[in-house]
Structure 1
Amino acid sequence: MKIRLPNGELKEVGSEQQGSWEQRTLEKLLLETYKQNRRASLWKWVGRAVWLVLFLILISVMAGGNKNVGAIAKKHTAVIDLDGVIDSNNDTATKIIEGMEAAYKSPNVKGIILRANSPGGSPVISKVAFDEIRRLKAANKNIPVVVVMEDVCASGCYYIASAADKIYANPSSLVGSIGVISGGFGFTGLMEKLGVERRLKTAGENKGMGDPFTPESPEQNQIWQDMLTDIHQQFVAAVKEGRGNKIKDAENPDVFSGRVYTGEQGKTVGLVDEFGSIYTVSRDVFKAPDMVNYTPKDSFSNSLGRQFGVQLKSATDAYLQPSW
């Protein structure tokens, strides 16, 4: 009899050959069906895994922080992290404020530690955090607020730290740097050598002040200096307000010069009260060795947004905005 092969060709076969061909065809069909079922099953499990990950991310975003805090049923020390550069991208002031507010709501918090490890940053955000810490302290006088410095707490970080009741540090910590800095580059000489002409159009004689491709006049230089001096004076006033008579600036005129001290040196000049860590303070000072971190956690979307923000930050911003 004749049979049609898969390629469409007709072939004469005997009954034995016919049976053999039909068996092979059936085996191939069953094997292909098995493979397709396996692939479908695999993709089904992959899909389930993806949905599980998305669900966990959603739960994390909705949680928005340490929701286990409310479950703490015994006395403990609240820890709030003050780390990284102090700026809007890091949302420094908001994290401190929200963390302290959450800690004050718990009847089992015996004290609050601001764990500081920051080189400083924005003068504006530092002042906002300083003012809010003092406001919250005044409204909750029964809960002490201290700062425990780790590797470094300089410039804007020290501005914020000075709002606390006490400052603890490691003898090797870097503290102080009570000053203001703003810098940039001038390319006018290079442009002259290259024969490049800068065509900057402004309305207002100082509107282009700070442009690196335009010569800076003595008057504009003085404007910059006056602004930095004004911000520095605000910094000094805040530290004196927060630290009171602990700062021995009369004996150590360099304290407000912008210099950095070790923790041991800082204790000598009044920038630091005592040596200690979050462990010694929670255990020996607050008598509540169990610690709970009240620092608000970033949502998934905020984390992505911050990464994009960091990538888009330009050198011009660093030039135009003074920092501690």
Structure 2
Amino acid sequence: MAGFLKRLVPKRFRKTELIIPVVRMHGAIMAGGSQFRPALNLASYAPLLDKAFGMKEAPVVAITLNSPGGSPVQSRMIYNRIRQLAEEKNKKVLIFVEDVAASGGYMIALAGDEIIADPTSIVGSIGVVSGGFGFPEMLKKIGVERRVYTAGQNKAILDPFQPEKEGDIEYLKSLQLEIHNVFIDMVKLRRGSKLKDDPALFSGLFWTGMRGLDLGLIDGLGDMRDVLRRRYGDKVKLQLVSGARNFVGKKLPGVDLHAQSIAASAASGLAEVAEEKALWARYGF
């Protein structure tokens, strides 16, 4: 009723309050996710982005980002969706880094027209990493023989239960190099002449927000509320764009609550937690 009555009042007499949508992206970037631990991926966040960019009166969409990285594919998909919506809706995008925007997290940050971080945030890590474990000696000790049958000589490439092969490692590195080059091209496209000519820039190193500003990886230091109030006035109102709720009432970005059973979600969630903790640990979190 209040909204209906407000629309009856001529615009010149209404309170000049500017609402800016805020999308909060948090966590490791990976496909899938569960009811217990929604992942940062396009499927989860597309509805939130559509909703935020659909707010016609807002001149800008603010995104708070806190991610140590993860899937390069999902990172690029989120990046592309943000840029597509920004162009379609003619809106500026401001990315505000919280603790970390590294690796795939920084790739997403590149979608911002401006990237703003805290002086103590971690940014960068422009590189590609793959990791795993090898168990061939353990199998020998416990008396287990590994048997693999393939059609295709490279079908069992990088099998963790077999000794490493030089050819397998070279092939993996060639894939990493291709992905790394895509990442570098994205950084150069979005940051352009702002980037400093530093040999360490694309080495995979990461830096604080202060150093990231010097290198041209970000545009400024500060926090979202202060920055938006300085630019749009004290009457600016930040509206968090949120999704559905899970079975315990916790808000989720965009997860189908009936997609998996609770037991399956819990089991897969344990693996996801371990993977996410390993990603955060690289940056001291």
Q: What TM-score comes out, normalization by structure 1 length? A: 0.69
- Residue in structure 2 matching 1:155, options 98, 103, 112: 103
Q: Structure 1: give runs of 5+ residues left out of the alignment.
A: 1-70, 319-323
SS at match of 2:82: helix
Correspondence for 1:132: 81
The alpha carbon displacement at 1:95 in A equals 4.5
CA distance, structure 1, for counterparts of residue 59 and residue 216 of structure 2: 26
Q: Secondary structure in 2 aligned to 1:130?
A: helix
Q: Provide closer, same or farther for how the CA distance between residues 174 and 258 of structure 1 changes in structure 2, counting only shifts above 3 A.
A: same
Counterpart-to-counterpart distance in 1, 2:232 and 2:117: 16
Matching residue of 1:311? 267
1:272 counterpart residue number: 218
Residues 169-248 of structure 1: matches in 2 within 5 Å? 169-248=117-196
Note the residue ranges of structure 2 that are not aligned, 5 or more in a row. 1-6, 8-14, 34-38, 248-254, 276-281
Residue 107 of structure 1 corresponds to 56
Distance change (3 Å), C-alpha of 1:122 and 1:278: same
Q: Deviation at 1:303?
A: 5.4
- The 5 Å alignment of 1:86-125 reads 86-88=29-31, 89=33, 90-125=39-74
The aligned counterpart of 1:38 is: none
Whether 1:164 and 2:112 are equivalent positions in the alignment is yes
Tell me the TM-score normalised to structure 2 length: 0.77
Shift in alpha-carbon separation, 1:286–1:92, aligned structure 2, 3 A: farther
Structure 1: how far apart are the matches of 2:242 and 2:23?
5
Residue 81 (str. 1) matches residue 24 (str. 2): yes
**CA separation in 2, counterparts of 1:274 and 1:292?**
22
**Contact persistence 2:23–2:52 (CA under 8 A):** no
- Counterpart of 1:17 in structure 2 is none
- Provide the aligned C-alpha RMSD in A: 2.8
2: CA distance between counterparts of 1:231 and 1:306? Answer: 35
Q: Distance in 1 between matches of 2:68 and 2:261?
A: 19
Cα distance in structure 2, aligned partners of 1:303 and 1:227: 36
**Among the aligned pairs, what percent are the same residue?**
34
Residue 312 of structure 1 aligns with an amino acid whose one-letter code is S
Task: Select which of 295, 299, 302 maps to 2:256.
Answer: 302
Q: Secondary structure of 2:236's match?
A: coil
Structure 1 residue 299: Cα displacement: 5.0
Distance in 2 of aligned mates of 1:119 and 1:306: 28
1:100 Cα offset (Å): 3.0
Q: Does the Cα contact within 8 Å between 1:82 and 1:116 map onto a contact in 2?
A: yes
Q: Secondary structure at the match of 1:109?
A: coil
Higher helix share: 1
Structure 1 residues 231 and 172: alpha-carbon distance in aligned structure 2, compared to 1, 3 A threshold: same
CA offsets 1:128-153 (integer angstroms, 9 cap, x no match): 11111111122223x21110001111
Equivalent pairs counted in the alignment come to: 246
Structure 1 SS opposite 2:112: coil
Say if 1:176 and 1:259, in contact at 8 Å, map to a contact too.
yes
Q: Distance between the aligned counterparts of 1:170 and 1:291, measured in 2?
A: 19
User: Structure 2: how far apart are the matches of 1:124 and 1:95?
Assistant: 14
Q: Which residue of 2 aligns with 1:263?
A: 209
1:254-303 Cα shifts (integer Å, max 9, x gaps): 11111110000100101110011111122112335310011333554735
Shift of 1:159: 0.1
Deviations 1:32-59 (A, max 9, x none): xxxxxxxxxxxxxxxxxxxxxxxxxxxx
